[in-house]
Structure 1
């Protein structure tokens, strides 16, 4: 991580100190089984010890600094008389900052690192002063401790960066692999592995792939399929028993994922093996599916094999079975991958002739092939069905609903949208958010198409292994109409898209006319959001009503917004400057009611509040900026504006 980026992350973290503790251990004594109740700095300043944090051993002596996360197990064995501090704290980003956390970024409070400081005395002196002030109870002392803690972090970062200390990915990846081997029969997901080892799941996946060339889930599937093949060959266990032994409670799902990766169903695979007495093989040795605890590559590099050979079960003569065995082993190591390349930008879908479209010229009967089209994306050309019927929308669900497409899966974050009430009853949940998706669940849904909001090629590749995937970066569309039209073209629902856009345009025009009739054109509107810690003003992006007020209803912001938002799309402001940014009307995202705001000594003095021209709504309603939400938000705010008391 670059130095300035690391400072930026710490600077944006809201920190609350929980405790400062000093411990001593005599030589030979130990402290075992302590689970960190919060993010923790361990600062050893005297003695020697073996410190084990969630299985990772740190030989430490004299001065040593270690940082761990909530829930991690800490074991300390003193080899000399030992003295050390534990500083427990809670660190959180604001909701907005968490949403815009870059891929691979780990909040400082969730990072794991350790180092021996080159200049430890400065850190020790700060720690002493923190301990002294912590023992007092005045507000001043609490403030002093927090100030000293920031000094400690600054000094720690400077020394850590000088030493080139990074997080501890290699050891953690080894631990993850070992854990997989020992727990193959248990439900394992990327999210559970991330929680188990104290890492952001996406960061863990990226580092895992760097060291093993496979994602954690790919690696896990490979281990499970490898073990299943071994049991099918060398034991008389039933398919159901084998399924449970490799972590799949649902035998039907096990059959499906086995066939998807091997090319044969488990029962057919076993029959083919039993038909050749002299064939004895070890799938683990030949293809690197080692059951040893290592991080070596576990698949051969031929991800496109299954994409071009989806013919179901093989029918071969006995004379060709030796050749078939090598093919089976190769298939066993592969996962389905979508074809694609290039770097053209996202455009409207263009149609192509489907493979096999000239079948009338053939003397043999062929199975009809569904018509397809080619879509140009930021990751190259993607071949998709012209009329996909099973679509998973990791994002962009609103546009699918607008054109009446058959969405079969999405995330809780998207489906919790209050404006989707009654529209998502038959849609399966595949994860809590785009960064928390169950890929096993995705495979189970067997989608024709996946739609995801990303510009991260690694993230795109994960989805494209399951089904053709259309990746669309955030902010790609210049208007709601453009977005809905794109999905109408993509999904073969052009007529539905045209109908929806016409209805949207008419309803927005009607809302605009209503507001123009009762609100003067020079009335100013402020878009704001308050949390426990911040107050922010917003422009026409990022929701909170900005797109509705400044876009659809054509209203103007206070003059103070022009300079404040000239380079930024939102800006944090001081509550003392509230009156400078308050317009004639205020649309405020808050958890407080208008009555509470009227009683507030600062908010209550604003003319907009006194005249009932403040609209208060929660983040769960103001956050969304998708087509369906913006349409209903426009009508919601129009109803308030045209019925609110108009006081002069």
Structure 2
């Protein structure tokens, strides 16, 4: 009996029925043996990367890739060093319609493949959604849901058929070439040839090289050297390994050849590169943390026209990058950093983009600048310097606490930052409040809101704080319009002490700003007659 064929794929008189769907996981370095029975297996990679070894040879497995394991075929799924490899495995049967008898018979001989032997299919968003729906409802006992599942599987069959048809019409093996880029990144410590990459992509060496250059702008070997040098930079910045070990980890057998190649690409030898590293921190506090550890960044984000007073002498040659919650990646790129320190809680979404600019490390969020300084010191190899900074600050706090005890004499103090949203009053559980009230021993007004993180008030309600002293931080005098020391007399007098916005901006978040603020508070209170 004849049957209609579309691009060698059965289309009209064959019926595909899903038998089972499983989700397999393989940890880093783990191998899974898979044996197909009488029915073929459809493999959809959900996460991770690896290899599929079978009687047909070795194939790449990458996230969102689709492969086939044919009936009675023995195969091995290998996670070659990446985070957990996860994939869906679908078993299905193929039935052929018998027009005369109106019956269906299973197609035992030459079952139709959903993925042809030389095809590289991709699990698009819609295909991923269909597979997840099939998995979620695999064990349903609801008849309607089971029927819906059968239709979803037919849609999946059609989607795979269509994707192969479009690939054949366009004759575009770019997806396979793209997968070899991922393979190169995962196997930098191994010998890799163009012939091997072309074989993995299942195209000729010449055609592979042409496509590769169209897609990357480089020939395969130059691109590979670039990957190895970028990985070497990461290891130089973060691992502490010897040059010999780093050379081996990025695929160079000889340390001297590695050094020559590194200098060709970077312009510096590995040793001199380490001595001349250009550092950049994405948050406004990071340049200060670097500076107190003896490292001056090449550029620094700042929300101000000028750096704070206490940094101006040291940061004369540091480029100012205007910061308004979002940093320009182009500006970071133009500063040509070698090591980027970024914030885990703010920069996670752009980590990949930052990593393409330079080696990037994410710092965790910390409640106390001293913990953040220790994290920064671990990255920069400055642990003893961090301990010395923290010890000096502890001594300073002891001295300041005693001075302020006699100067303030039990009067209440509140710290307020003026914004366009209102007056932000910092309570005892805020980071600034902890410095003022817990570490310096100052006394807050007896207001319940100040026993917590704080409160936002309209400017004309500041008198409700009933504080003897208000430390007022503002960068816009229009928000305030009063002179330093002027009394606010609405029900009770409060003495206003206006402080510089740039200098107090990082108060309680960095050592230099906090040092500066403590010194200014001593000047404010100890100098009173």
- TM-score scaled by length of structure 2: 0.49
* Larger relative strand fraction: 2
- TM-score scaled by length of structure 1: 0.41
